[in-house]
Chains A and B, each alone.
Chain A
Amino acid sequence: MNSNIFVIIASSAIFYGTPLFFAALGGIFTERSGVLNLGVEGTMLLGGVSGAWASQHVPGSAWFTVLAAIIIGMAAGALTSTLLAILCVTLRTNQTVAGLAITIFAGGVGLSSYFANIWKVAEAPVDRQVRRLDVFGWADAPVVGPILFNQTILTYLSWVLVVLASVYLFRTRFGLQLRAVGESPQTADAMGINVVKYRYLHTILGGALAGLGGVYYSLAIVPTWVDGMTKGAGWIAIALVIFGFWRPSITLIGAYLFGALQSLSSTLKARNVQVSGDVLDALPFFMTIVVLVLVSTRFAHRRLGAPAALGFPYEREER
């Protein structure tokens, strides 16, 4: 029963959707504060290459190495987005171009590839991986086993995060203040909220989560580093934030949907289903466009729209 194609697709939807969710959750925090991060793709790749390097070089027991790799990957992501915060918040640059600059600087033909080269990350496999677990020994249970009890620790972490993030955003004072900063920084400032601090912290947090998504790619999905291995996942994550209407729970569902699309190609090929590989490869990108068109209709925008100040630098001196 567990070799049923639907079970396999559901299981890999969660497996491949998890890194998308991490990056998108980071995007939610960043955008809720009013900063648009188009550098997610580059941030993920830098996180991924740092994590891969750590996995190959940090000594100690296997779990310690993997933990260190996760933390180092997140730190790399946080550092990258600190750069974005300096540009967008302090220097008040155009957020779109600043984000693009991050992706070109850090991306598949940029710094992440340079690091991979000088650290010789691609020359050996990343042996110490984030492996799939057998939770309660139920991994072989019919249907639910492979889907729910045979994922990596990071997937279970993401389930905790979706609850924590929702509570933080919608049930705490900090979340309320964060949303205020994203909706109307002038008002928030007048209320005594430190706009700059909120924007910095949440942009950096967003970068750390994107870095975690990158680590997932280099430590859980592909056992060897390949330049540009996220293949557009960062951009899909940005679309997922819009698809999820800036809410963690809806975004998680969206991430699994796209996780399923991304894995469809390899799943079906492995089962000798006769479909064109190109069509399947194109599906996630095509569906991203379709989904974006659907959610940008006026109704969706009025009900569940973007943070009002998203993309605009805050200038206290100006009214």
Chain B
Amino acid sequence: MKSPVRFERRLEQPKWLNWAIPVVSLITALVLGAIVLLATGKNPLDVYSRIFERGFAGKRALSGSIKTATPLAFTGLCAAIAFRMGLINIGGEGQFYMGAVGATWAGLVFGGDLPPGAVVIVMALSGMVCGGLYAAIVGVLRAKFNTNEIITSLMMNYLAAIFLNYLIYNSTSYWRDPESRNFPAGKPIPDRADWNFYEVGGIKIPLSFLIAILAAAAIWVLYKRTRFGFEVGVIADSPKAARYAGIRTTSTIVIVLALSGALAGLGGAADVGNFRGLLDSKGLQMSGYGYTGIVVAALARLNPISTVVVAVLIGGLTNAGFALQGPDFPSGLVGTLQGLILFTAVAGEVLVKYRIRRNRQAAAVLA
């Protein structure tokens, strides 16, 4: 039997698909989510309207969503920059933790002495270095031994989580509050090391969200306007061609992964400096920003600027999920919706690559 449809490769990809695909993906995901909700006896309209209310309606909701969107923008950029080169870095989660560890250290050491602006820079750099080096390990293994980066980067997420537990729960490390004997917690960084918030039309915008926008713009320039970005594109399309052209693929792999990790690490620094003010082992592990970042990057079709926009969207969803969690709004629902969005986003890529035509003959047979 012949299949009723056939796939025809598109010779050129029309521009309007760039925004049409994510929009259609999102709507389809919501429809599929509605089916899951209906099948489990929930009213999808009710659930969705509550998500919208808590995530996007009003200044307070938007402030909360942008707050949640900030770490997601960084982890989304982390995934996007690596995926663009065909490097599947799913270690954003662990690199984010390591960035938080590095930034907390810098905040604790320098927070009391340096002027506040300098503290922000030192914390951000420290987070980027820690996240970047952590990801560079994956890059070196991939470049030197051709070790599959997907699994190694994921394994390093678990290792980073165990490291966090060690720092806060199972040792008397520099990061742990010495006064927290019975309920171990992180040592808070000095107040004057906290990063700023700015109010725009009643909506609170964290400094780190602005940094995320800057980072996205910088990556856009790097990939579109520099020789390095061009080389990355060639390697992504054909590693062989890149090697014949004399592009140093091994060092590019390490650099791209280190950059990717540095972005996640910067997110970790933002998490400490702008939001939590200490190394929160449990909170970090429960948030799963690294994994959600993959959803963000995929829906943004790996475009850095769209990544920030999509981060606000998914941030709103996640934020509403935290706020609504309870018997009527079971945990796991937001994760399920995010998974569905990722499904439809990948499936949407098919429409970019192919034109789907009905098979005339098969249709006739079916009729």
- Which one of B155, B288, B331 has the greatest number of beta carbons of chain A within 10 Å? B155
The answer to whether B40 and A98 touch across the interface, beta carbons within 8 angstroms, is: no
What count of chain B residues pass the 8 Å CB interface test? 51
Interface residues on A, range: 35 or more
- Those of A126-153 within 8 Å (CB) of chain B: none
The answer to whether A315 and B90 touch across the interface, beta carbons within 8 angstroms, is: no
Task: Return chain B residues, CB-CB under 8 Å to A298.
Answer: 146
Segment with Cβ contacts to B, from A88-96, A160-168, A249-257: A88-96
Task: Return chain A residues, CB-CB under 8 Å to B163.
Answer: 278
* In the assembled complex, A312 has its CB within 8 A of some CB on chain B: no
* In the assembled complex, B152 has its CB within 8 A of some CB on chain A: yes
Residue of A nearest to B295 (CB): A104
* In the assembled complex, A304 has its CB within 8 A of some CB on chain B: no
Residue of A nearest to B294 (CB): A100
* In the assembled complex, A198 has its CB within 8 A of some CB on chain B: no
Task: Return chain A residues, CB-CB under 8 Å to B165.
Answer: 278
Task: Return chain A residues, CB-CB under 8 Å to B288.
Answer: 109
Task: Return chain A residues, CB-CB under 8 Å to B330.
Answer: 113-114, 117-118
> Which of A93, A105, A118 lies in contact with B340, CB distance below 8 A?
A105
* In the assembled complex, A286 has its CB within 8 A of some CB on chain B: yes
Segment with Cβ contacts to A, from B180-188, B245-253, B344-352: B344-352
The answer to whether B342 and A227 touch across the interface, beta carbons within 8 angstroms, is: no
Interface string of B293-324 (1 = CB under 8 A from A): 01100100000000000000000000000000
Task: Return chain B residues, CB-CB under 8 Å to A293.
Answer: 141, 145, 147
Main secondary structure of the interface of A (DSSP, over half): helix
> Which of B8, B145, B162, B335 lies in contact with A282, CB distance below 8 A?
B162
- Those of B132-165 within 8 Å (CB) of chain A: 141, 145-148, 150-152, 154-156, 158-159, 162-163, 165
The answer to whether B335 and A232 touch across the interface, beta carbons within 8 angstroms, is: no
Beyond contacts A101-B342, A285-B155: 12 other A-B pairs, Cβ-Cβ < 8 A, are: A93-B346, A101-B339, A104-B335, A105-B335, A110-B335, A111-B332, A114-B40, A114-B333, A114-B336, A117-B330, A239-B155, A282-B162
A-B contact pairs, 18 of them (CB 8 A): A92-B7, A93-B350, A97-B298, A98-B343, A101-B342, A104-B294, A108-B335, A109-B335, A110-B339, A113-B332, A116-B332, A227-B331, A232-B155, A278-B166, A286-B155, A288-B151, A297-B145, A298-B146
Q: Which 9 A-B pairs have the closest CB atoms?
A: A105-B339, A113-B332, A114-B332, A117-B330, A110-B335, A109-B335, A101-B342, A104-B339, A285-B158
